[in-house]
Structure formats: C-alpha cells, structure tokens
A = this chain, B = another copy of it.
C-alpha cells in the first residue's frame, strides 16, 4: 500500500503538468476502451449480481449494483460531457505587478493525490476516476465489495487506456480490501485529500481515523420553511417535490417548518398530498392539533430518514425557523418559501448551510443541476469546497513569481516601494 501511495504521489507531479488537450485525448481513449470492453464488463457484473443475490442483497441494492448497457451508455455520455468542460488546471486567478520586472500570478493546479471511498454503484468508479484525470489529480479508489469484479474490469480498462494515451504510471489505483483503506488513511505523507461517500457512520469513521483532510458530508438533514408570507401553491409544490421526488438521497427534505399563522391552510393541503404518496408524517403538538399524525420526538429533528417519512414543526417567527435549522440541520440545503423578499434575504444570510434556497425544491442541490458537469460529492464542511464539488473543487492554486534577480533587501522605508498593480 505504501508503494501504491508513493507511486501515486510521483504520478501526481507529472499529471499536474499535462495539457488539457492531452487529458481530453486520454478521456476519449477511455470512453472507446470502455465500449470495446463492454462484454467483459457485463460478464463481471453478472458475476457480482449472482454473488449478491446468493448473499441475499435487497432489490434496491441490486439495482444500484447492476451495470448494463444503459449504465455504460450513461458513463460514456458523462465522459463526453467532461471532455467539453473547461480545464481548470493552469487558469490564472490573479496577477499583480510588485515592481518593474517582478510579476506574481496565482494559477489553479491539482490538489495532488485523492483517496476516494465510494458506495456500491460501479458507475461511480468511472465518474470519479475520469474527474480525477481531467483535474490532473492522482487517485486511489475503493468501491463497494459487492461490485469487486465489475470494479476490477472497469479500473483495468480505464487505467490501461489512459496509460496508452500518456497518463503517468501509477496515477490511478484500485484498492480491494478494507485493510487497504485503513492503510491509506495513515498515508498523510502521500495523500492530500480523502473523500468518503456512503453512510453517516462510514463517513464519521473516516473522519475519526485520519489526519488527512476529509471532504464530504455525513448527514443530509434538509429543511423547507413555509413562511407567513408564502404563496400556498408554491409552498405545496416545493414541499412535495423536496420530500417525494426522490426521498432516498441526501438533498431530500427531512423536516418541514411551518409558520403558525399559515399552518392550518398549508398543512391540510399538504397532508392530503403526502397521504396519497404514502409519506408517514410526524408532527409536534401544535401540528397534531391541525392534522392527524404520529408525534415527533426530539430525535426526529436530528434524523435523516432517507425514506418516505417527514417530521413537521410549527414555528412562530422567521427567527425561530432559522434557529431550528442552524441547530438541527446538517449544513446541506435549506429552503424558505415566501413572497416577502426581506424575509428571504434574512433567511439566506443567516442560515449557515452550503446551499440556501428561496422558493425552489431542495432537490436542486446537485452538481449536474448546478451546471458543474460531473460531481465527486457534496461537501457540508466549510473549508475548501462547499456544496456540490466538481472539477474546480478538486483543484487548489500555486503562486508563481518571476523576477529579474529581485532581492527583498532593496525594499523598505528607505528603499523601493511595492507597486501592487493588478494586471
């Protein structure tokens, strides 16, 4: 494992200096190679599916594990979109003239070596490795063990095609065991960033067991707050879509907050719609005076159901809603529904979450929908990247300065002054 990480570190230096054209050519080769290897990939996936069926894996998980013609077309489309995205590496962020002949520039560059641990979907392997390639990073990958055969074929195909197209040896490696992951978490000398994707417990485990910076999210406890000044039709649309459009994901709403002055009207309409969609409602005392539902406990406000369950609380003010969200929320995505612009602005300023919405569904919080192209995940941390993380989130910058033999000793109260002219 140490050798793998060390090779990735060495490869990362070379990967950082590759041109956008070369990386795009490598991505095109990867897409071709995946198409050419389709039979081999599907056979490996059949094996994984059979093993998992024997092991009694649930239907929803089997569906995620399945990698068929449609999934392959999807990832190849994804690679083609990725090729079209602008290369963030080498972009100049600032330039300033410090003195005659002394120019400082800040230029985007890759982070270096990423360690990414992801769930059972094999398409994630293709998305993550191609994002790493385009952003000039080296990457160590560990997928779900149920997908071991599929992942091995996919990783080999991508790695060999990219090598033939000029990517440096060792830029990508597939880890196969949990012990590898444990070893990786200790390699802070070689790895710059760990991105875990998966359950809350898993992400917490990673965060507690490494000195390497970790980017990602543990919880997705998203709120919709229906303000006193809400348009009822919009409120119903947004609250319904946020819960029901796809409840198993991190950007689905888990708690609905309703202003008391509007609660009766809106809750009666929503309860009807939620009932039709089979959503289990859990309300606080005042909510239960309006609609018939189970009681919500303190525990409910801090729970990510990822399911057709919704907790509902009544509040008496915008401030109370903001306080509830900052206390129980996970910093993922929270929305206010209101026609009152002042209230919307206050909500957007004071809610301390990575995405804060006004009159639209929390389900929009996603890298593809934001226009970032592909995404490696969603970050609820407040360092480096926040919210959906795409190519730019996998880069940092370096400061480059060019002079003509300039020495600091010549500057000072008695000497030259810094110009600091933006150029």
Q: Please, which residues of chain B bring their CB within 8 A of the CB of A96?
A: 370-371
Is residue A365 within 8 Å, beta carbon to beta carbon, of the partner chain?
Answer: yes
A385 to chain B, nearest CB (A): 8
Q: Given contacts A241-B408, A352-B112, A404-B359, is CB(A382)–CB(B192) below 8 Å?
A: yes
Q: Could you tell me the dominant secondary structure of chain A's interface residues?
A: mixed
B residues near A207, Cβ cutoff 8 Å: 211
Q: Are the C-beta atoms of A401 and B360 separated by less than 8 Å?
A: yes
Does the CB pair A213–B211 fall under 8 Å?
no
Contact across chains for B387 and A355 when beta carbons are under 8 A apart: no
Q: Which residue of B lies closest to A112 (CB)?
A: B382
Which residues 337-387 in A have Cβ within 8 Å of B in the complex? 337, 344, 346, 348-350, 352-361, 363-365, 368-371, 381-384, 386-387
A384 with B387: CB separation less than 8 A: no
A401 touches B364 (CB 8 A): yes
Decide yes or no: A405 and B245 within 8 Å by CB, A111-B383, A371-B420, A381-B213 being known contacts: no
With a 10 A CB-CB cut-off, give which of A112, A233, A337, A382 has the most chain B CB atoms. Answer: A382
Residues of B within 8 A of A369 (CB): 98, 408, 411, 418
Most buried by B among A98, A353, A368, A408: A408
Q: How many whole Å from A158's CB to the nearest CB in chain B?
A: 24
- Which of B211, B346, B355, B401 has a CB less than 8 Å from the CB of A398? B355
Say yes or no: B17 contacts A350, CB within 8 Å. Answer: yes
Question: A383 contacts B386, CB within 8 Å?
Answer: no
What residue of chain B has the Cβ atom nearest to residue A352's Cβ? B13
Let me know if A231 is at the binding interface, CB within 8 A: yes
A326, CB-defined interface residue at 8 Å: yes
A381 — nearest CB in chain B belongs to which residue? B213
If A349-B17, A370-B399 touch, whether A361 touches B406 (CB-CB below 8 Å) is yes
Contact call A245/B407, Cβ cutoff below 8 A: yes
Interface centre among A96, A344, A350, A401 (most CB of B within 10 A): A401
Verify if A400 is at the interface (C-beta below 8 Å from B). Answer: yes
Q: Is A274 an interface residue (CB 8 A)?
A: no
Decide if B350 touches A403 in the complex (CB within 8 Å): no
Contact B409 A245 (CB under 8 A): yes
Q: How far is the CB of A102 from chain B (nearest CB, A)?
A: 6
- What separation, in Å, do the CA atoms of A211 and B205 have in the docked complex? 12
Q: How far is the CA of A360 from the CA of B399 in the complex (A)?
A: 13
Complex Cα distance, B353 from A353, in Å, reads: 32
A352 cross-chain contacts in B, Cβ below 8 A: 12-13, 16, 112
A309 contacts B by Cβ under 8 Å: no
Q: Report whether A234 and B408 are in contact in the complex, using a CB–CB cutoff of 8 Å.
A: no
Interface mask (A106-130 → B, CB under 8 Å = 1, otherwise 0): 0000011000000000000000000
Q: Which chain B residues border A400 with CB–CB below 8 Å?
A: 348, 355-358
A104: B residues at CB distance < 8 A: 370-371
A42 contacts chain B at the CB level, 8 A cutoff? no
B contact residues around A213 at 8 Å (CB): 213, 381, 383
17 contacts between A and B (CB under 8 A): A16-B350, A16-B352, A102-B360, A192-B383, A213-B383, A355-B398, A355-B399, A356-B401, A360-B403, A361-B403, A363-B407, A364-B403, A365-B399, A370-B399, A383-B383, A384-B384, A386-B397
List 9 A-B pairs, minimum CB-CB distance, nearest first. Answer: A360-B403, A234-B405, A241-B407, A371-B420, A363-B408, A360-B406, A17-B349, A384-B384, A355-B399
Which residues of A pack against B, CB within 8 Å?
A: 12-14, 16-17, 96, 98, 102, 104, 111-112, 192-193, 207-208, 211, 213, 215, 231, 233-234, 237-238, 240-241, 245-246, 326, 337, 344, 346, 348-350, 352-361, 363-365, 368-371, 381-384, 386-388, 396-409, 411, 418, 420
Contacts beyond the supplied A241-B408, A355-B399, A360-B404: 16 A-B pairs with Cβ under 8 Å? A13-B326, A13-B350, A111-B382, A192-B383, A215-B383, A233-B405, A237-B405, A353-B398, A354-B398, A359-B402, A359-B405, A360-B406, A361-B407, A382-B396, A386-B399, A387-B398
